[in-house]
Amino acid sequence: MYLTQSLHRNVQQTPGLPATIFGNRVFTWAESGERVARIASGLKDLGIGKGDRVGILSLNSDRYHEVLLATWWLGGVVNPVNVRWSAAEIAYSLEDCDTSVLFVDDSFLALVEPITAAAPCVKTLVHCGDGEAPQGVLAYDSLLDHGSVEDAHAGGDDLAGIFYTGGTTGFPKGVMLSHTNMVVSALGSCATGDFVKPGGSLLHAAPMFHLADLAAWNGRNLLGGTHVIIPSFTPAGVIEAITKHGCTDALLVPTMIQMLVDSPDIKEADLSSFDQIVYGASPISEGLLERVTRVLPHVRLTQAYGMTELSPVATMLGPDEHTDPVLRTSCGRAAPHSELKIVDVDGVEVPRGQVGEITVTGAHVMLGYWNKPAETEAAVIDGWMRTGDGGRMDENGYVFIVDRIKDMIVSGGENVYSAEVENAVTTHPAVASCAVIGVPSAEYGESVHAVVVLQPGTALTLEELREHVKERIAGYKAPRSLEVVEALPLSGAGKVLKRELRKQHWDDTDRAVN
Amino acid sequence: MYLTQSLHRNVQQTPGLPATIFGNRVFTWAESGERVARIASGLKDLGIGKGDRVGILSLNSDRYHEVLLATWWLGGVVNPVNVRWSAAEIAYSLEDCDTSVLFVDDSFLALVEPITAAAPCVKTLVHCGDGEAPQGVLAYDSLLDHGSVEDAHAGGDDLAGIFYTGGTTGFPKGVMLSHTNMVVSALGSCATGDFVKPGGSLLHAAPMFHLADLAAWNGRNLLGGTHVIIPSFTPAGVIEAITKHGCTDALLVPTMIQMLVDSPDIKEADLSSFDQIVYGASPISEGLLERVTRVLPHVRLTQAYGMTELSPVATMLGPDEHTDPVLRTSCGRAAPHSELKIVDVDGVEVPRGQVGEITVTGAHVMLGYWNKPAETEAAVIDGWMRTGDGGRMDENGYVFIVDRIKDMIVSGGENVYSAEVENAVTTHPAVASCAVIGVPSAEYGESVHAVVVLQPGTALTLEELREHVKERIAGYKAPRSLEVVEALPLSGAGKVLKRELRKQHWDDTDRAVN
């Protein structure tokens, strides 16, 4: 399996169909295939060959599509940069895997100086934005002047990409994915019939650097059709793209779906072409599902759960399963390319209904973490990826995620899932946001501790909070201590950094996980 | 990727759903999973371990399903025997790859003595029929008494099966397929949405020893659902199984489809559950398509083209494409897991519309021929499988097969496709059947020669035949010589053995291909 195979097939089967639509720029598959072979030639002249890393620091564009494919055409390795990271984090990831060519668009030109100062591995910058290339940065079109090269046909277990993750859980780690990893996840997801459909038009509004959108992109390549690309998510941009180009499907996260259906513009728009949303990151809430059903009644919802290390899809919950009020709180069942079990700390499968760690195996499990053999060994045991997610499985294989394992609290011998407590705490009218962690307790081992940001002009006592929570969940789960703060520490991606909160209560040696 | 993965998933997700229905015998997925683990234990005690070969000489049954999975559970290699072969051919194939355990059902007990005499590699016979096991043959149920073993999790490039092919083209060759080969073909076929559908009930009437039916079987495993199995194809058996068990889909060859729609029983039967037929071996004729549309108006037809060496699917033609009178004479386009090109004798791609050899690459290309490195090297060049089929490709990637390459005739510098001439010859009312071959010609290099079986009580001259043919196709394609025979030499599978016909005209040294 190789990631350029679908490009060859689309050039052969639908040469005149638009491959990419970005603003007013349209390239057919025939043009896309020819451009990729020429950009590859340009990259080759910049020294890129088999196994060499090419970084991309850019909002979404048709050039993202071209750079990915041109890199693979040479047998190179892509390093799609998380655009929400700081210059220091980006420089770390580039330097960590020795990325020598970096594409950058206009939105991130200001970061170029600090990045290149801290990442001397970057030898060449290429502009992939729309304006003039600034000094010291190669113009994108200059790559097209180098003739063209043949596809090197890298594939199988060859390294295809290094995807840096980690924001909330420590230092960034480079997840190494092979061609087979990425193709298998997309093929298996498509096989359910609930991912992208053959010949449609896929909207890219979620960031293309993230494997969630790239998985959908890869599915669209495998089944043929068109990519409609907008730089980043805005409700108006999504509505305009669907209306103008008749998009059929998109990968979105629940927050984006919520902003879309709550947008005042949606009422007047004709979105009848749009019939499938694949979402990830979390289950969809009852309230949001009800709004989607009302505002976009013809749209089918599919949830995909996974992680970068799983290329990324492990489970799927199809449209029909969304009609069941219990099942739709799950993340579905193992996808056709995947196998999943829930295990205890020793890796032994637990009985159905019991909470343990979700582990996954299949040809979509990453090759490992770049230059981190110890972390790889801890994460992938006998071919099974330890996801770090706590969950339980019902009698029909549906998986319900309860918490990150490291966020689970063991208090008085009982498991307490911080996510469940947080859900109860945030329903209190005085609470704006909160995080629940375990803190040391002589009596209970760990005890439940709530860190809360209050709504302006409100107050909250521990007793009030405990009363409120105990009306909703078992008493032993109610916080035994309360800390009111101005703001919670957040990662670049907006996730709460619980390790920062824990630091104040634990020595490093007290708690192995962070 | 490993072939037992889908078994684990179905046991996890649909434990109470029937996995196999065979006559009155029904096993759920939970039971099927447990039985496979126990049969594997029995096979282990017979000495089967990783890489060891297990043969099956049997009509279709639920035990076929179990033996395949139990063998893979141990990391073993299946050798599904072509039930149409003679004892000598079967013994050759068993001995060639050192098959030590052979399952045999009641239909083939008479062959046991000649086979074991000629294939001393077979150490143990196991009965997989319904009656009592005869003397010297282990009872199937005795394998279930050995406890159970854990899945060895063989997979990836590990050898999964040796499938013997060759009837019409020389000595049988063992096609070696890996776990990845077989899973990729099924996943890619399913991804189109036009192969088996999630959760349906697949009817096995085509022989399970053949990779065509096994590919559909594997697709059903991957997407969940039920196998309804009948021993072999009869129209009445198919109609009864669909009526009784609500089958949704089946793999059939055109001859079976024809016998089914022409069966008098079909008029009274309720086949409303049945909505998808996947067929292979040849395009469907206009007449048959018209009858299918009339008799089974709700059935969607998909053609799959491929060969055992391609695990087996290379191209697919979906239901919608069957509405186009030109496209439906093609075998469709490269499937999502496959890449295809048409090449000249030097392996260089020919322009669209020009005839050349069909070559295919992808993760579904066989590992090679068992113990035949020279044949493997000739067949798979730089990862591209030379199919031996001549064809052309249109501007949209549709592939039209014209002939087997070795059956193509080069006469006076022009390519003549024997299949095209045969189609013209057989429309003559005096012709019952015919084969067209090239014979040596001083003037033309090769000249077109027709071997004809006449309808009883008729006569035919060369001049009459030439006139008839020239009204239909170009004059240079009309036969220059005519040979009337009592019968054509046929292979066990009913294909004309053209090499036998050619032998009378060519020395072995004259013509490299046979």
Q: Which of A357, A392, A427 is the last residue of a domain?
A: A392
Domain span holding position A455: 412-503
Average pLDDT over residues B340-361: 96
For B351, the closest chain A residue by CA position comes to A12
User: Is A411 a residue whose pLDDT tops 50?
Assistant: yes
User: Do B198 and A192 lie within an 8 Å CB cutoff?
Assistant: yes
For B193, the closest chain A residue by CA position comes to A193
Secondary structure of residue B67 in the 3-state scheme: helix
Confidence of residue B181 (pLDDT cuts 50, 70, 90): very high
Please list the residues that pair with B204 across neighbouring strands.
B229
Q: Report yes or no on B373 lying in a domain.
A: yes
Q: What is the CATH number of the domain that holds A437?
A: 3.30.300.30
Average pLDDT over residues A320-328: 94
B426 and B335 housed in the same domain: no
Which tokens belong to A434?
């909160």
B383 and B420 housed in the same domain: no
What percent of chain B shows pLDDT beyond 90? 79
- CA separation for the pair B169, B163 (Å, rounded): 15
Task: Tell me the per-residue pLDDT of A218-248, one tens digit each, with 9 for 90 and over.
Answer: 999 999 999 999 999 999 999 999 999 999 9
Distances from the Cα of A354 to the Cα of A259, A319, A351, A415, A474, angstroms: 35, 26, 6, 11, 17
Q: What's the pLDDT score for residue B405?
A: 83
Average pLDDT over residues A441-461: 92
Q: Report yes or no on A140 lying in a domain.
A: yes
Query: What's chain B's average pLDDT?
Result: 93
Please list the residues that pair with A20 across neighbouring strands.
A27, A227
Q: Report yes or no on A514 lying in a domain.
A: no
Q: Report yes or no on A508 lying in a domain.
A: no
Task: Tell me the per-residue pLDDT of B438-449, one tens digit each, with 9 for 90 and over.
Answer: 999 888 889 999
What percent of chain A shows pLDDT beyond 70? 97
Please list the residues that pair with B357 across neighbouring strands.
B343, B390
Where are the alpha helices (H) located in B119-230, listed in sequence order?
A: 179-191, 211-223
* A353 at B interface, C-beta within 8 A: no
B388 and B421 housed in the same domain: no
Q: Report yes or no on A405 lying in a domain.
A: no
Count chain A–chain B contacts defined by CB atoms under 8 A. Answer: 96
B9, B189, B331, B399: best mutation site toward chain A, by most A Cβ within 10 Å?
B9
A362 and A418 housed in the same domain: no
For A315, the closest chain B residue by CA position comes to B9
User: Is A168 a residue whose pLDDT tops 70?
Assistant: no
User: Is B192 a residue whose pLDDT tops 60?
Assistant: yes
Secondary structure of residue B287 in the 3-state scheme: helix
A457 and A371 housed in the same domain: no
For A198, the closest chain B residue by CA position comes to B192
Confidence of residue A73 (pLDDT cuts 50, 70, 90): very high
For A365, the closest chain B residue by CA position comes to B1
User: Is A512 a residue whose pLDDT tops 50?
Assistant: no
B376 and B255 housed in the same domain: yes
Q: Report yes or no on B509 lying in a domain.
A: no
User: Is B492 a residue whose pLDDT tops 90?
Assistant: no
Confidence of residue B162 (pLDDT cuts 50, 70, 90): very high
- Give the minimum alpha-carbon distance from A186 to chain B in angstroms, rounded to a whole number: 9
Q: Report yes or no on B403 lying in a domain.
A: no
CA atoms within 13 A on the CB side of A251: 28
A98 and A185 housed in the same domain: yes
Average pLDDT over residues A387-412: 91
Count the domains in chain B.
2
Q: Which of A358, A392, A426 is the last residue of a domain?
A: A392
Using N-to-C axis directions, what is the helix angle for A286-295 and A254-262, rounded to 10°?
A: 50
User: Is B35 a residue whose pLDDT tops 80?
Assistant: yes
Average pLDDT over residues B185-196: 95
What percent of chain A shows pLDDT beyond 90? 78
Strands B25-28 and B18-22: antiparallel
Confidence of residue A494 (pLDDT cuts 50, 70, 90): low
* Complex ipTM: 0.88
- If contacts are CB pairs under 8 Å, which of residues 68-87 in chain B contact chain A? none
- CA separation for the pair A258, A267 (Å, rounded): 14
Distances from the Cα of B171 to the Cα of B89, B96, B406, B488, B514, angstroms: 9, 11, 16, 20, 11
Q: Which residue among A155, A187, A334 sits closest to B188, beta carbon to beta carbon?
A: A187
Q: Report yes or no on A166 lying in a domain.
A: yes
B327 and B275 housed in the same domain: yes
Confidence of residue A508 (pLDDT cuts 50, 70, 90): very low
Q: What is the CATH number of the domain that holds B237?
A: 3.40.50.12780
Residue A511 vs residue B228, higher pLDDT: B228
* A12 at B interface, C-beta within 8 A: yes
- Give the minimum alpha-carbon distance from A4 to chain B in angstroms, rounded to a whole number: 10
Please list the residues that pair with A399 across neighbouring strands.
A393
- If contacts are CB pairs under 8 Å, which of residues 34-63 in chain A contact chain B? none
Q: What's the pLDDT score for residue A495?
A: 74
Average pLDDT over residues B196-219: 95
A369 and A432 housed in the same domain: no
DSSP secondary structure code for residue B348 in this structure: P
For A3, the closest chain B residue by CA position comes to B337
Task: Tell me the per-residue pLDDT of B448-478, one tens digit each, with 9 for 90 and over.
Answer: 999 999 999 999 999 999 999 999 888 899 9
Average pLDDT over residues B330-352: 96
Q: What's the pLDDT score for residue A284?
A: 80
User: Is A510 a residue whose pLDDT tops 50?
Assistant: no
**Cβ neighbours of A190 in B, within 8 Å:** 190-191, 336
- CA separation for the pair B191, B175 (Å, rounded): 25
- Among B424, B425, B403, which Cα is nearest to B484's? B425
Q: What's the pLDDT score for residue B410?
A: 86
Confidence of residue A170 (pLDDT cuts 50, 70, 90): low
Taking phi first (over 0 means left), then psi (-120 to 50 degrees means alpha), and beta for anything else, what does residue B64 get? alpha
Q: What's the pLDDT score for residue B286?
A: 81
**Cβ neighbours of A191 in B, within 8 Å:** 187, 190-191, 222-223
User: Do B6 and A222 lie within an 8 Å CB cutoff?
Assistant: no
User: Is B514 a residue whose pLDDT tops 50?
Assistant: no
Which tokens belong to A366?
């990453």
Classify burial at B186, counting beta carbons within 10 Å of its beta carbon; exposed 0-12, middle 13-18, buried 19 or more.
Answer: buried
User: Do B396 and A14 lie within an 8 Å CB cutoff?
Assistant: yes
- CA separation for the pair B422, B429 (Å, rounded): 13
Q: What's the pLDDT score for residue A504?
A: 84
Which residue is it, tokens 């302006």? A456
Q: Which residue among A1, A13, A339 sits closest to B184, beta carbon to beta carbon?
A: A1
- Give the minimum alpha-carbon distance from B12 to chain A in angstroms, rounded to a whole number: 5
Confidence of residue A283 (pLDDT cuts 50, 70, 90): confident
A373 and A443 housed in the same domain: no
User: Is B169 a residue whose pLDDT tops 60?
Assistant: no
B323 and B471 housed in the same domain: no
- Lowest mean pLDDT: which of A267-281, A305-319, A329-343? A267-281
A361 and A444 housed in the same domain: no
Average pLDDT over residues A49-72: 98
Q: What's the pLDDT score for residue B419?
A: 85
User: Is A493 a residue whose pLDDT tops 70?
Assistant: no
| Torsion over CA: A134, A135, A136, A139 (sign) | positive
- Position A352: which residue type? R
User: Is A385 a residue whose pLDDT tops 70?
Assistant: yes
